[in-house]
Chain A
Amino acid sequence: MDFVDIIFVVFALIVVVSAFIVVFSRSIIRSAFSLLFTFFGVAGLYVLLNADFLAVTQVLIYVGGILILILFGVMLTTNVVSVEIKTGTLQTVPAAVIVAVLSGTIAGIFWFTEWHTAPAREGPTTKALGTLFMTDYLLPFEIASILLLVALIGAAMIARHERGTEGGR
């Protein structure tokens, strides 16, 4: 195990453990803060893979944007601290069997498959990514912006408060 492997294991552990807390914690605040570590851990993994731009974006958008919004949402919602999250467990045995089989298969796949590997890219990636967005990936890039526009308008439409009856304002 060399140095990179050790760092990988550390980051991977951070991600997995904090993700478990996000899912299993009964307090929504604890879940939200735990998500912080998950996002940071993923950013660390990106750095390890020489994906500098991706790592910075991960921190900026997920930690700086989305997570803060979630926390604001949680804190501004009244009664959220004391709210009981209902997590019922049904059909435990079949679920456990299926999960065991599935995770066994997936783990097996990852262990035994010869994955297609590419050599790590040295140096900054931002410029290369930008060029790709404007050349090979132009169409997905543009369609993604339409997608975001639609999502924004949709969110506004759903959230817009309609006072009283329709038509009156």
Chain B
Amino acid sequence: MMLESIQTSLSLFQPEIVLCATVLAAILVDLIFRRRPVIVAGTVIAGLIVTAVLVGAEVGVRARIFSGMYVLDPFAHFFKFVILGSALLIVLFSLASKELKTAPKRLGEYYMLLASMTLGMVLMTGASNLLMMYLALELTSISSYIVTGFTREARDSSEASLKYVIYGAVSSGLMLYGFSILFGLTGTLGIYELNQSLLSMPSINWTALLIAGVLALAGFGYKISAVPFHFWTPDVYQGAPVTITAFLSVASKAGGFAMLMRFLKVTFIDLASSTQLASGIWAMMQGINWPLLLAVVSVATMVVGNFVAIWQDNLKRLLAYSSIAHAGYMLMGLVVMSNQGFAAVLIYFVAYLFMNLGAFYVVMLVANETGSESIEEYRGLGYRTPLVGVSMAIFLFSLTGIPPTFGFIGKLYLFAALVNQQWIWLAIVGVLNSVVSLYYYMRIVRNMFLKEVDGRKPLVPISIPVPSAVLLIFLVIPTLGLFLYFGPLVDVAQAAVSMFGF
């Protein structure tokens, strides 16, 4: 009986098994082919592709496996594709990075850790038990602590790694404390069972539940770098190798958001009083005003991210604050507690994947040549290397949310979801924040195109190898193209909001 259920679970767990095997294979390959990190990278790429294919074969399956530890549903599949896609791009970025080449001996382990980080994130999307959620989060975090300090010789990098460990330890401690209160109230760890148990209780101590919820939010908030759990973000993003910064800013956030959305919806939904469930709006349990709590966090996150970004001259740090701001925008989609809001977050993630990875890729290409991420290096870039300059401008327009880019579509759906649910004031705050973000994004564009170039100095172009140029164009095409042709993607996202059981 038990054996059969484990066998069924295993057959549905194939993508993750392949990813585990990729981690192990990367270790072995690194041992066999010493000092040939490219082979390890190839192994990881192959593993990621096979995983993605297997996830693709599972699309449409809904199941709860391993005694309720893990679920498969369209929601998880969507996020798995986002995570695997960005992991694949990051491995390709890493192959072109010069910064990583300073430590060739450790490069094999680097790719292995990328794979284990991806595994952790993939597990985050489907975890449906508090214990599993914690383990997945910790697997992601521990792998990221190590790769953050990868360029150990650089002082920034070690410092970033240590700060990351300390903040991470504190917030996962807070989260575990919150989970323990939830367990103490209900005697169960599965989020579906938690929901039933909370609903069937004659009386709940709401203060206890509120404290548990807020503490749990600390763990999730840390992963998505929401204010006030964002303090690690700028230092870690600046100190880590650019590839890792890009990966953390997209995939790690995707995992965190997937887990937070599932946790909030499944644990705190009140099915009995959700009269409009068919139309995609659900009621939350009484007691904790989640929408207001999330709205406050979202506004704080947007404001802090955008306003501090104005003063940054280091592009990595600037993009770090901008990624905090983007977490704030996406949190707005959670506030409304409707399918429309969740779909908007999913759409936004696809846009964010291309534009943010693209911006970081340009930062990496420029740093490859100049060894610096200062905004001064971008002076006249639009004339020196038009391909890079124009691509960067497109990514920045998209991050601001200006047409004709996909970032605009993403923001449009977010604001539409807010307005539909009468969250007008939040939508206005969001729009105003986008205006602020326009300032610092355009500062870079202005540096690239409008700043007077010193005529006496020759314009030194940045040499871009052909594969890097191809990859850059590959990132630009969806950023622009999905603005015109977003219908199918929106349909996919709207279908993907459905979670197991709902």
A47: Cβ under 8 A from any B Cβ: no
CB pair A150 B6 closer than 8 Å: no
CB pair A139 B132 closer than 8 Å: yes
Q: Give the chain A neighbours of B203 by CB distance below 8 A.
A: 114
A90: Cβ under 8 A from any B Cβ: no
Alpha-carbon gap, A90 to B113, bound state (A): 38
CB pair B187 A109 closer than 8 Å: no
B36: Cβ under 8 A from any A Cβ: no
Within 8 A of A (CB), among B12-39: 20, 23, 27
Q: Which of B112, B113, B139, B211 contacts A106 (CB 8 A)?
A: B211
Q: Looking at chain A's contact residues, is the secondary structure mostly helix, strand, loop, or mixed?
A: helix
Q: Give the chain B neighbours of A166 by CB distance below 8 A.
A: 102-105
Q: Which of B6, B116, B208, B211 contacts A146 (CB 8 A)?
A: B116
A3: Cβ under 8 A from any B Cβ: no
Q: Smallest CB–CB gap between A132 and chain B, Å?
A: 9
CB pair B207 A105 closer than 8 Å: yes
**B interface residues, Cβ below 8 angstroms from A:** 2, 6, 9, 20, 23, 27, 66-67, 69-70, 102-106, 109, 112-113, 116, 119, 123, 129, 131-132, 135-136, 138-139, 142-143, 145-146, 149, 152, 181, 183-187, 197, 203, 205, 207-208, 211
Alpha-carbon gap, A109 to B131, bound state (A): 23
Alpha-carbon gap, A105 to B104, bound state (A): 52
A88: Cβ under 8 A from any B Cβ: no
Q: Number of contact residues on A: which range applies?
A: 20 to 34
Q: Which of A108, A116, A144 contacts B186 (CB 8 A)?
A: A116
A128: Cβ under 8 A from any B Cβ: no
Q: Which of B135, B138, B187, B205 contacts A118 (CB 8 A)?
A: B187
17 A-B pairs with CB atoms under 8 Å apart are A116-B187, A116-B197, A135-B2, A135-B67, A137-B69, A139-B69, A140-B69, A140-B132, A153-B109, A153-B112, A154-B113, A154-B143, A157-B106, A157-B146, A158-B152, A166-B103, A166-B105
Q: Smallest CB–CB gap between B49 and chain A, Å?
A: 21
Q: Smallest CB–CB gap between A148 and chain B, Å?
A: 9
A122: Cβ under 8 A from any B Cβ: no
CB pair A139 B205 closer than 8 Å: no
Most buried by B among A139, A143, A147, A154: A139
Given A139-B132, A157-B146, A105 contacting B211 (CB threshold 8 A)? yes
Alpha-carbon gap, A48 to B138, bound state (A): 30
CB pair A108 B207 closer than 8 Å: yes
A5: Cβ under 8 A from any B Cβ: no
Proximity bits, A100-124, B CB within 8 Å = 1, else 0: 0000011011001111101000000
**A interface residues, Cβ below 8 angstroms from B:** 105-106, 108-109, 112-116, 118, 135-140, 143-144, 146-147, 149-151, 153-154, 157-158, 160, 162, 166-167
Q: Give the chain B neighbours of A153 by CB distance below 8 A.
A: 27, 109, 112-113
Alpha-carbon gap, A158 to B147, bound state (A): 10
Given A113-B205, A157-B106, A162-B105, A150 contacting B143 (CB threshold 8 A)? yes
CB pair A167 B105 closer than 8 Å: yes
CB pair A158 B146 closer than 8 Å: yes
Q: Give the chain A neighbours of B113 by CB distance below 8 A.
A: 150, 153-154
Given contacts A138-B67, A139-B69, A140-B131, 18 further A-B contacts (CB under 8 A): A109-B205, A113-B184, A115-B185, A116-B186, A135-B2, A137-B131, A138-B66, A139-B9, A143-B132, A143-B139, A146-B23, A147-B142, A153-B109, A154-B145, A157-B109, A157-B146, A158-B146, A166-B105
